[in-house]
Amino acid sequence: MDRSALRKEYQQPAPNILADVCEKAATMTDVIDLSIGDPDLSTPAAITRAAFEKVAAGDSHYTSALGKPELRQAIADLFTSRYQRPTTSDEVMVTVGAEHALFLVLQAIVNPGEEVIVLEPSFSPYVNQVKLAGGVPVEVATAAEHGFALDLAAIKAAITPKTKALVINSPNNPTGNALTAAEAAALGQLAIEHDFLILSDEIYADYLNPGVAFASPVTTAPEHTIIVNGFSKTFAMTGWRIGYIVGPDWAIEAAAAVNDSVTFSAPTPSQDAALYALAHYEETSAPVVNEFKERLTYLNQALAEVDWLKLTPAMGSIYLFPDIRPTGLDSLTFADELLKKAGILVVPGVAFGQPGEGFIRIAATQKLAVLKEAVARLKQLTWN
């Protein structure tokens, strides 16, 4: 047997831009890695301790397929207060991270051939997840000239009778843009008018720069919005693999039915950790979230002083997405050159879809002192 035994799309190894850049970086010393979106901070110790204590006391079994009832209730309570909209635990399912949450939702809603609009540049798995669900991804660009803000006209133009859903991520990876209340409301209104679902990935909801308020289309279109979120970013818990879906109860039931044949339930220790994190939200999230706000604020200001790039300041998330077109290089060549010339590892914008070409993603996942060193190196570079 050989690769020809695989499903057609896996017979050729898929190009993996990020893996290629990282492989190169691994052969070098003195590299500043600003590529991966994994917070460098460890999970707050109190969360880890609480989970381990529960497991040591015997909490090591499957939970209900939808998640522990008390965790579902805690998530419902969080949503009731965050969105000022009563949310019940029937509208919540605990998953193995936000990415798994979106996978389950797409599997549950997409009929073969139905279209799902994905706004690009976007978190790379979205397009593939739509395909895995048998759907057709319809990629709609957000415009660089407008700071990658929501382009309602472009979305309207992409809607067809086959449009089933639209995936949106705000605050956004990779662009750092965030929906305003007016944009979120307009998008919600559009979903109601054309009867499609909004799949709202809100994993960076806590990562908003000072003066930027969180907005979600669910406020306008609760029957048309399914939210995915998780604990990876807010509580630096990427490795625990724990997240959730909040949406209408019929969507939750169907997602659980899909997951019955995938992972059944989310890891019990991670659910214990999540419960503790929610019960101590402020004290456990603040050290993580504030550290990133400080870094993003610094980079917004410091990168604006680098004369060969153009920066639209990030409104939130943990990323910046500067325009490197003034260098005359495409994003892959630029990332390669940046690694060679300055020992800085970033992700070429094209990894997030064609509309990301001409940009690079910088993840603020290093301490402030390291970011300062990176900026000093950037300022010394010339590109002719």
What are residue 247's phi and psi, to 5 degrees? -170, 180
Residue 232 touches ligand PLP, criterion: CB under 6 A: yes
Q: Which amino acid is at 176?
A: G
Instruction: In angstroms, give the least distance from the CB of 357 to ligand PLP.
Output: 19
Residue 187 three-state SS: helix
CA nearest neighbour of 225 among 190, 258, 260: 190
Spatial CB neighbours of 92, under 8 Å, sequence gap ≥ 6: 66, 67, 72, 73, 75, 76, 79, 244, 245, 246, 252
Residue 138 touches ligand PLP, criterion: CB under 6 A: no
Q: Rounded to a whole number, what is the distance in angstroms from the first to the last CA of the chain?
A: 51
Residue 272 touches ligand PLP, criterion: CB under 6 A: no
Interface pick for ligand PLP out of 114, 120, 201, 272 (rule CB under 6 A):
201
Instruction: In angstroms, give the least distance from the CB of 69 to ligand PLP.
Output: 21
Pick between residue 230 and residue 355 the one whose CB is nearest to ligand PLP. 230
Residue 99 touches ligand PLP, criterion: CB under 6 A: yes
Between CA 274 and CA 271 the distance in angstroms is: 5
Residue 123 touches ligand PLP, criterion: CB under 6 A: yes
Interface pick for ligand PLP out of 217, 243, 322, 355 (rule CB under 6 A):
243
Between CA 170 and CA 176 the distance in angstroms is: 8
Q: Interface residues for ligand PLP in 161-180 (CB under 6 A)?
A: 169, 173
Q: Which range touches ligand PLP (CB under 6 A), out of 51-59, 230-238, 295-303, 363-371?
A: 230-238
Q: In this structure, what is the dihedral angle of CA atoms 54, 55, 56, 57, given to the nearest 10 degrees?
A: 50
Instruction: In angstroms, give the least distance from the CB of 47 to ligand PLP.
Output: 15
Q: How many CB atoms lie within 10 A of CB 205?
A: 20
Pick between residue 109 and residue 342 the one whose CB is nearest to ligand PLP. 109
Pick between residue 196 and residue 352 the one whose CB is nearest to ligand PLP. 352
Interface pick for ligand PLP out of 64, 73, 219, 238 (rule CB under 6 A):
238
Residues paired with 208 in a beta bridge: 316
Pick between residue 238 and residue 297 the one whose CB is nearest to ligand PLP. 238
Interacting residue ranges for ligand PLP, rule: CB under 6 A? 37, 97-99, 123, 169, 173, 201, 203, 230, 232, 238, 243
